[in-house]
């Protein structure tokens, strides 16, 4: 991927979560310029302070991506500051569950669709046309094995993640041959506290640390991964 202007421009949504923070640190170490998106300005500012980057390399953008206009405003703000977006890391998280299908409140399903499917659609529509016009780009998101193999009492989350996966795999087919790719990293559970190392057990054997996710995101954003498109890449060690 061409990198004019001194490194990749990486847009990270969900930048205040464990994976978002780890990805920001990893791409900062790679020399990228970062646009960090989250709903809480205070938490975004804390991530910026943690990174310790000069102002010309980091841009916090508070926004609620459940709103399509907000997503378009984010893309316009980043374009105005950095001139382009090379990589989209869509790392918005959130889980709701614990209810059987026969008792499920439709509002719960709507909340999960808003969180996962609609934020993905809005940011993709805001960012990908510019990538296609430039002939290069990476779209990467984190999904869950439950999108393909749902368990009990988790239908609302599984439905939303399945929708997100279909959306991005469809995008991959539509952008094939343009220089833009779209892929998913499938993570069973994010081991933010590193319990797999400090207290290993069968329960956490398949968990993935934020730093492990960030390393794979870094590779997937590199020129070496140009041939990978439309894939579900499992990171649960199974």
**How high is the mean pLDDT of the chain?**
95
Distance CA 213, CA 194 (A): 13
Question: b/e for 136-150, b at 16 or more Cβ within 10 A?
Answer: bbbbbbbbbbbbeeb
Q: Is residue 53 part of a domain?
A: yes
Q: How confident is the model at residue 119 (pLDDT cuts 50, 70, 90)?
A: very high
**Phi and psi angles of residue 88, each rounded to the nearest 5 degrees, phi first:** -110, 115
Across the strands, what pairs with 182? 139
With 50 as the cut, is the pLDDT of residue 191 above it? yes
What's the rounded Cα separation, in Å, for the pair 195 and 89? 25
8 Å CB contact between 44 and 36: yes
Does the residue 210 lie in any domain? yes
The pLDDT, as a whole number, for residue 84 is: 98
Q: Strand 87-90 relative to strand 9-13: parallel, antiparallel, unpaired?
A: parallel
Structural domain contains residue 4: no
Q: Are 87 and 123 in contact (CB under 8 A)?
A: no
pLDDT higher than 60, residue 34: yes
110-128 mean pLDDT: 98
| 48-64 pLDDT, tens digit each | 999 999 999 999 999 99
- Whether 3 is covered by a domain: the verdict is no
pLDDT of residue 6 exceeding 70: no
What is the domain extent for residue 192? 9-234
Residue 206 pLDDT exceeds 70: yes
If we measure between CA atoms, which residue out of 9, 166, 2, 143 comes closest to residue 74? 9
2 lies in some domain: no
Does position 2 have pLDDT exceeding 60, yes or no?
no
> Cα separation of 130 and 180, whole Å?
10
Give this prediction's pTM. 0.95
Assign 1 a pLDDT band (cuts: 50, 70, 90).
low
Q: What share of the chain in percent tops pLDDT 90? A: 93
Residue 236 has a pLDDT of: 81
Residue 97 has a pLDDT of: 86
Could you tell me the CATH number of the domain that includes residue 45?
A: 3.40.50.720
pLDDT reported for residue 96: 87
Would 197 be classed as within a structural domain? yes
Confidence category of residue 136, pLDDT binned at 50, 70, 90? very high
93 domain-assigned: yes
Average pLDDT over residues 222-237: 94
Q: What is the pLDDT of residue 4?
A: 37
**Residue 68's pLDDT is what?**
98
171 falls within a domain: yes
pLDDT tens per residue, range 207-216: 999 999 999 9
Write down the residue that tokens 């646009």 correspond to: 35
Asked whether the predicted pLDDT for residue 76 surpasses 80, the reply is yes
Q: Could you give the number of structural domains in the chain?
A: 1
pLDDT of amino acid 237: 74
């Amino acid at each position: 991927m061409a990198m004019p202007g001194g490194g990749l421009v990486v847009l990270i949504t969900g930048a205040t979560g464990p994976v978002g923070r780890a990805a920001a640190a990893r791409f900062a170490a790679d020399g990228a310029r970062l646009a960090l998106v989250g709903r809480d300005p205070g938490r975004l500012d804390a991530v910026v302070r943690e990174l310790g980057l000069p102002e010309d390399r980091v841009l916090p953008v508070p926004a609620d991506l459940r709103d399509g206009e907000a997503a378009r405003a984010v893309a316009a703000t980043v374009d105005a500051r950095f001139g382009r977006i090379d990589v989209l890391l869509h790392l918005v998280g959130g889980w709701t569950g614990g209810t059987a299908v026969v008792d499920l409140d439709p509002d719960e399903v709507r909340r999960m669709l808003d969180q996962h499917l609609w934020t993905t659609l809005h940011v993709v529509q805001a960012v990908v046309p510019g990538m296609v016009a430039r002939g290069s780009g990476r779209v990467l998101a984190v999904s869950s094995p439950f999108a393909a193999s749902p368990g009990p009492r988790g239908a609302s989350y599984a439905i939303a993640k399945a929708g997100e996966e279909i959306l991005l795999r469809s995008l991959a087919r539509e952008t094939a041959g343009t220089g833009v790719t779209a892929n998913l990293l499938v993570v069973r559970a994010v081991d933010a506290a590193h319990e797999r190392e400090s207290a290993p057990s069968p329960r956490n054997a398949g968990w993935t640390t934020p730093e492990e996710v960030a390393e794979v995101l870094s590779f997937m954003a590199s020129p070496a991964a140009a041939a990978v498109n439309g894939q579900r890449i499992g990171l649960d060690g199974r």
